[in-house]
Amino acid sequence: MKFDVYKLADKYKLTNTETQILKYILENNQQVLHMAVREVANINFVSAATIIKLSKKMGYTGYTDMIYRLNFMMTSRRKNKERMSDITSFINDIPVEILRDFMEHLKMHKNHIILVSATGFSSPLAEYMERKLLVTGFRIIRTNAYAVYDKNCLDASLVIVVSKSGETDTIVKLVDYANENHMAVLSFTGEQSNYIGRRSTVNIPILDDKTLDDRNLQSNYFYARVIVVFEYLMSQVLEELD
């Protein structure tokens, strides 16, 4: 299991030795509950005083408080991961090769200009994707301007679009321009057969609970599922890029 100990080390200004001790405690959080401070010290070739100093540095009252609090944190993390597995279970219904193709295109165009577009209820999804890609180092621009796609004046190489119906006129036109200018198109649409899906380089079909609810008057988890799938794909891409 990976731990972001370097962020903790930076926050508490830990030395390399203290960082190593913290990492050991996190990786063995169940075992250290039954270990005395001297046992942990001997295994890490440090003194008990060094571990006690570490606990104080991190704001705990002492060694015992530290290991129990860190254990609680790790237990909560495991439970959250189990709940996340339930939330993302529907991803298993999407063909693995489609997910893999999407990720490969994102990695391939990491240093190129990427455009993202959506309208209506999908607009917030495009904004979210733009911000996520920006903070993770991608060159991303969110725009629905026809002129940008028509002449590809920004020299973009990849387009990401979201359309529940897969037939949204505005997005259809942008996808057609993208194809004419040899830009790869990654799309999130409903599962039903649709124009945008057919014209995409990679189309990720997302379960749409209410395909006939054009005005989105009823509860529909399509939009939430798009974000979940996008976050899942981004986590995989960023891990592979690292």
Please, where in the chain does CATH 3.40.50.10490 lie? 89-241
pTM to 2 decimals?
A: 0.67
pLDDT tens per residue across span 15-41: 999 999 999 999 899 999 999 999 999
pLDDT (tens digit per residue) in 57-94: 999 999 999 999 898 888 766 655 554 455 577 788 88
If we measure between CA atoms, which residue out of 29, 26, 47, 30 comes closest to residue 38? 47
Structure tokens at 39: 């046992």
End-to-end CA distance of the chain: 16
Range ranked top by mean pLDDT from 5-19, 79-93, 204-218 = 5-19
DSSP state of 179: H
Q: Which tokens go with 152?
A: 């590809």
**pLDDT for the residue 84:** 47
Contacts of residue 144, defined as CB under 8 A and 6 or more positions apart, other chains included, come to 117, 119, 170, 174
d(CA 229, CA 233) in angstroms, rounded, equals 6
Q: What's the confidence (pLDDT) of residue 198?
A: 96
Q: CATH 1.10.10.10 spans which residues of the chain?
A: 5-85
> What torsion, rounded to 10 degrees, do the Cα atoms 119, 122, 127, 132 define?
-140
pLDDT in tens, 96-149: 999 999 999 999 999 999 999 999 999 999 999 999 999 999 999 999 999 999
- What separation in angstroms does the CA of 63 have from each of 32, 42, 66, 114? 10, 14, 5, 50
Residue 2: alpha-carbon gap to chain centroid: 16
SS3 at position 62: coil
Q: How far apart are CA 176 and CA 185, in angstroms?
A: 10
Q: What is the largest CA-CA distance in the chain?
A: 69
CA dist 62 and 56 (Å) reads 6
Q: Which CATH architecture has domain 89-241?
A: 3-Layer(aba) Sandwich (3.40)
- pLDDT value for 77: 61
pLDDT of residue 1: 47
| Residue whose tokens read 């508490």 | 12
Name residue, tokens 């039903």: 192
Classify domain 5-85 at the CATH class level: mainly alpha
d(CA 202, CA 196): 10
